[in-house]
Structures are given as structure tokens and as C-alpha cells.
Amino acid sequence: MKYITKRNKAALTIKVKHLTAESRIIRHEEKKWKGLDRQFFSLHRKSNVRNESRATQLALALMIGKPYSAVEKHCRDTRFRDGYIAERVAKMVEKYHSPRLIGKTFRRHHLPYYARAVFRWFEGEEPFPSE
């Protein structure tokens, strides 16, 4: 089941493309630097940009209705996924979801609801079960 409008799907797809381009640009710039400056760029690319890209792709997959097992075959670090990545995915789902398609309308900031949906999705269940 889809939980996202075409406009928001396009917005997340654009975000994924920008993060990919950012990573490519940083990798190119790394070659121009040496020492600690090079490590700074490398660390930024490998931690911040990579994790944000992963979270964005997971949020997009959840909202278009793909099962988690089809997106990530094997997750080596489930503690990191269940911590930082799940929080970012939940925030993106909160921001980009379509309340009309989920069947619930909330006031702002109902992040625990979306976090539970993300964890249900990680476990292979329906993220937004009919209530």
C-alpha cells in the first residue's frame, strides 16, 4: 500500500539524487586535500551523507509500499539502524507522508506513532495497520 503522494515521492527522489551528487562531489574534493582536512571530508561523506542517504531511501521505500526485506537483504548493525537510522526515517515519514492515505490525521509532532510504524516495517509487518 502506498502512503505518499506523487509530489512528495518526487521530493524524496530528488533528495536521494542530491545526496548522491553531494557524495560524489566530496569524493572528488577529497583528492585535493591532505592530512586532517582530507579526513574531515572523508568522515563527513562516510558518516553524515551516507547515513542520511540510507535513511532517505528507506523512508521512500516504506512509503511506496516496498517490504523492508526487498530494500536491505542483510543489516549488519541493527543497533545503529534501530537508533539513528530509524529516527531519521520516522522524521521523514512524518514530514512526507499522506495522512489521507494512512487513514489518520494528526496534529503536529506525533513522532512516536511513526517510529512504531518504522519498527513494524523493519520486522516485516504492515507499518500502518488498519485500526
Residue pLDDT, tens place only, 72-95: 988 888 888 888 899 999 999 888
Q: What is residue 18's three-state secondary structure? A: helix
In a domain? residue 53: yes
What is the average pLDDT value for the chain, to the nearest integer?
87
Cβ-proximal residues to 23 (8 Å cutoff; 6+ apart), any chain: 45, 49, 50, 53
What domain count does the chain have?
Answer: 1
In a domain? residue 38: yes
**Which residue in 29, 6, 36 sits closest to 96, CA to CA?**
6
Residue 104's pLDDT is 54
In a domain? residue 86: yes
pLDDT tens digits for 98-119?
766 555 554 455 678 888 889 9
**Which residue in 121, 61, 52 sits closest to 84, CA to CA?**
52
Residue 92's pLDDT is 92
Which structural domain range is residue 17 located in? 6-122
Say which residue, 98 or 126, is predicted with more confidence: 126
